C-alpha cells in the first residue's frame, strides 16, 4: 500500500538539533525565535530589533504599521544595506528618483551607502516586516 500524504518518506531520518558553538552561548542553549512572532498590531513608532551584530554587519528586524519617514527627512547611511520585505507592503523613495519603489513580500534590494532614501509609506492594515542587513 502506498504511503499516505501524512506519512514521512521512508528515507527521512530524525536529525539532531543544531547547536550553536559560539563564544558567548552555552552549547545546550538553542534560541529558536520566529521573525513574525511578537509583531505588534499597532505601535506609535517602528519596532527596530537587532537580531545579530558583528564587526562586519548588523541584521535587523523592522516592523512597520502605517509608518513613514517624517516629511523632509532622508536616511543617509554609512554602510550598504540589503533589505527584504517579508510581509505587508511598503513604498521607498530615493532622492535621485522621482517615483516610489513599491515593495511586496519577497522583494529585496541593495541600497548603497550614502544613497539618500526614505520610507514613503507602509501598510496600515497589517504589519510590514522587513529584514535589513547593514554591511
pLDDT, position 4: 44
Give dist(CA 67, CA 130) in Å, integer.
Answer: 13
pLDDT value at 3 more than 80: no
* Three-class secondary structure of residue 92 per DSSP: strand
Q: What percent of the chain clears pLDDT 70, i.e. is strictly above it? A: 79
All three cell numbers of 12: 527521512
Confidence of residue 19 (pLDDT cuts 50, 70, 90): low
In a domain, 126, yes or no: yes
Into how many domains does the chain fold? 1
Give dist(CA 122, CA 89) in Å, integer.
Answer: 6
- Which residue range forms the structural domain that includes residue 59? 47-134
Confidence of residue 16 (pLDDT cuts 50, 70, 90): low
What residues have CB less than 8 Å from 96, skipping those under 6 apart? 115, 116
Confidence of residue 40 (pLDDT cuts 50, 70, 90): confident
Task: Kindly report the backbone phi and psi dihedral angles of residue 48, in degrees, each rounded to the nearest multiple of 5, phi listed first.
Answer: -120, 120
In a domain, 35, yes or no: no
In a domain, 15, yes or no: no
Q: What is the CATH number of the domain that holds 122?
A: 2.60.120.10
In a domain, 25, yes or no: no
pLDDT, position 9: 47
In a domain, 32, yes or no: no
In a domain, 1, yes or no: no
Residue 13's Cβ-count burial label (10 Å; 0-12, 13-18, 19+) is exposed
In a domain, 26, yes or no: no
Give dist(CA 23, CA 26) in Å, integer.
Answer: 8
More confident residue, 19 or 60: 60
Rounded to 5°, the CA angle 86-87-93 comes to: 85
| pTM as predicted | 0.74
In a domain, 74, yes or no: yes
pLDDT value at 105 more than 80: yes
All three cell numbers of 70: 517624517
Amino acid at each position: 500500500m502506498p504511503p499516505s500524504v501524512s506519512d514521512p518518506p521512508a528515507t527521512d531520518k530524525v536529525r539532531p538539533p543544531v547547536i550553536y558553538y559560539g563564544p558567548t552561548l552555552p552549547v545546550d542553549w538553542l534560541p529558536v525565535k520566529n521573525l513574525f512572532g511578537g509583531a505588534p498590531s499597532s505601535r506609535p513608532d517602528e519596532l527596530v530589533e537587532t537580531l545579530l551584530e558583528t564587526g562586519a554587519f548588523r541584521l535587523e528586524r523592522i516592523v512597520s504599521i502605517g509608518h513613514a519617514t517624517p516629511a523632509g527627512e532622508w536616511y543617509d547611511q554609512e554602510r550598504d544595506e540589503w533589505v527584504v520585505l517579508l510581509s505587508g507592503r511598503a513604498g521607498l523613495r530615493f532622492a535621485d528618483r522621482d517615483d516610489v519603489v513599491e515593495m511586496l513580500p519577497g522583494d529585496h534590494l541593495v541600497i548603497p551607502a550614502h544613497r539618500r532614501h526614505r520610507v514613503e509609506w507602509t501598510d496600515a492594515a497589517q504589519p510590514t516586516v522587513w529584514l535589513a542587513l547593514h554591511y
